[in-house]
Amino acid sequence: MNKSTVLLMKTGETLAPLRAQGEDFEDWIRSALGLSIEETPTVSVHMGDLLPPVSTLAGVVITGSPAMLTDGAAWNLVAVHWLRDALALGLPVLGICYGHQLLAHACGGHVDYHPDGREIGTVPVALTAAAFGDALLGGLPSRFHAHTSHSQAVLRLPDSAVLLGASAHDAHQAFRIGERAWGVQFHPEFTARIMRTYVQVRHAVLREEGFDVDTLLRDVVETPAASAVLRRFAALCGR
């Protein structure tokens, strides 16, 4: 590792059909960051990989996961202690979906199943007034589309968090801790193709839960503003 490295903290794998095509969360994140594989090493913390010293990095992105934070897997505690060190040293941090929830949990927020169930598909995200001067989200449209797929959510933000964005389903789509750490519940690394695959693979359970799958698929669009978040984060890391 060196000070130009943006670590990808992997917390789980994507859907099997996508993995069979040779792609996973880290590949999409790396592409959206605009960085090479040498600049963005992956540490699979959920598999017991050792995290490097915080002081050796330019930043960290925490991936999504099919896991549930409330399952209490032991590796979460390892990640939480590491993240607290990262925050103390001012390392740029971006948590995506599960990573967003893990960051909130590390800072004293509350994560559990959303009382209104799953959020999935392309949804509008509305920024708060606090986002307009934010180093990461400032300059984005006040309302933009983003891809989502989650059953758990940050039900209570940490006391130190600044709320930056919400959707109709999830009041805490984006937040900031301090000046250099962010969580986004949406997936800025997803393309429309990836989002459609998530809906198609889960079509049976989605129908059981009352979703109109045809409408979900029809409403999937590309999300350039959400995708820009990762390129912006790379710039904040000096990349």
Tens-digit pLDDT profile for residues 180-191: 999 999 999 999
Q: How far apart are CA 191 and CA 220, in angstroms?
A: 9
Task: Kindly state the average pLDDT of the residues 50-68.
Answer: 97
Query: Does residue 116 surpass a pLDDT of 80?
Result: yes
Q: How far apart are CA 107 and CA 134, in angstroms?
A: 19
Q: How far apart are CA 201 and CA 227, in angstroms?
A: 23
Q: Which residue in the list 26, 114, 187, 237 is annotated as catalytic?
A: 187
Query: Does residue 135 surpass a pLDDT of 70?
Result: yes
pLDDT tens-digit profile of 193-219?
A: 999 999 999 999 999 999 999 999 999
Tokens of 142: 């006040």
- CB–CB of 94/59 below 8 Å? yes
How high is the mean pLDDT of the chain?
Answer: 97
| Sign of the alpha-carbon torsion through 49, 59, 34, 37 | negative
Q: Which residue in the list 97, 105, 150, 237 is annotated as catalytic?
A: 97
Q: How far apart are CA 61 and CA 157, in angstroms?
A: 19
Give the per-residue pLDDT at 1. Answer: 64
Q: Which residue in the list 13, 26, 119, 189 is annotated as catalytic?
A: 189
Tokens of 58: 């330019």
Helix axes 25-33, 224-236, angle to 10 degrees: 70
Q: Is 107 a catalytic residue?
A: no
Tokens of 231: 């390129």
Percent share of the chain, pLDDT over 70 = 99
- CA end-to-end distance (rounded Å), the chain: 15
Band of pLDDT at residue 119, cut at 50, 70 and 90 = very high
Band of pLDDT at residue 2, cut at 50, 70 and 90 = low
Q: Tell me 108's DSSP state.
A: T
Query: Does residue 30 surpass a pLDDT of 80?
Result: yes
Q: Catalogue all structural domains in the chain, each as residue range(s) with its CATH number.
A: 6-236 (3.40.50.880)
Q: Is 97 a catalytic residue?
A: yes
Query: Does residue 84 surpass a pLDDT of 90?
Result: yes
Band of pLDDT at residue 44, cut at 50, 70 and 90 = very high
> Quick count: other Cβ atoms within 10 Å of Cβ 48?
9
Instruction: Report which secondary-structure segment, H or E, holds 127.
Output: strand 119-127
Task: Kindly state the average pLDDT of the residues 43-68.
Answer: 97
pLDDT tens-digit profile of 143-169?
A: 999 999 999 999 999 999 999 999 999
